Amino acid sequence: MMLGNRGDTAETFRETLDFLEKARPHEYIFSCLSIYPGTRDFEDAEKAWLDRNVYFTKTFQELKTPFDASEADTAIMNEWFAHNSGLRTMHVETTSDYAAILERLGDYHSAHMDLGAAYYRDGQLDLADKHVRRALELGYPLPGLVYNHLACIAKARGDVDAMMDLFMTASKVDPQHYVLIQNVNRARAWFKEGGPGKKLPLALDVRHDFQLLERTAQPTLPGPLPEGFELWGAASRAREAEAFAKTPDVEGSKKELSGRRRLKIV
């Protein structure tokens, strides 16, 4: 979703929020209009109020600004955005919702997976286990996430041996999932710290939904261009590598699960 486009006012912004309430997306993210040189927005803004020198003298990553909103309307947008920026979760189906979907679709693997995850959230572990395993039997295309679910169910039942067996199975058959890698690393650290004996908490993530990812590093440099900016060499590559923040899609596609042997309980 966007705010600050041409003609955007407090009234149109409220209409946007009303639309969200009706559409009920699972997740949403808002971004303010960014004006870039070479675009029609830039050319029109320069005729009215924009000084192009800000791109070479000021420090910012993007020139985020409402195009023509009044100061009062801008204040309303800013106040809302300050408390609702970033990726937001909105609608989450209940077990009843997913049960109705399964009944309508029939014996379908993805419907079983969704329902099993919902039962897990509700603490109904036997039903969660039943539907997640059925999803696997029906050929769910991401078995690594199925085993991740089953491992988390085992942990919730207090069976850490079964948990690690399932994590290791997942790492062998379908390892390239960020949530799985994250859970395995957490479990390894937990064992290393003596988690079972010390009764330390172990937080695991159980999800298989499509994830929107926020870019954590901008492709442009903030502020005035440094001397020699047009030269590209080893130093420039090193700075870029240091500045780039890994996101789950990169982590999940490149990082392997090393040391796949079963972990010992200390």
pLDDT tens digits, one per residue of 169-225: 999 999 989 899 999 999 999 999 999 999 999 999 999 987 665 555 444 545 566
| Mean pLDDT across the chain | 84
The structural domains of the chain, ordered by start, are 2-89 (no CATH), 95-208 (1.25.40.10)
Look up the pTM and report it.
Answer: 0.65
- Predicted pLDDT of residue 263: 34
pLDDT tens digits, 47-98: 999 999 998 888 877 888 889 999 999 999 989 988 888 888 899 899 999 9
Phi and psi at residue 52, in whole multiples of 5°? Answer: -60, -20
Alpha-carbon gap, residue 204 to 164, rounded angstroms: 12
Alpha-carbon gap, residue 127 to 145, rounded angstroms: 17
Is residue 118 within 8 Å of 98, Cβ to Cβ?
A: yes
- Predicted pLDDT of residue 266: 32
Is residue 216 within 8 Å of 247, Cβ to Cβ?
A: yes
Alpha-carbon gap, residue 92 to 112, rounded angstroms: 16
Does residue 119 register a pLDDT over 50?
yes
What is the CA angle 251-257-262, rounded to 5? 150
For the residues 27-41, what does the mean pLDDT come to?
A: 90
Alpha-carbon gap, residue 30 to 69, rounded angstroms: 17
- Predicted pLDDT of residue 213: 59
- Predicted pLDDT of residue 235: 63
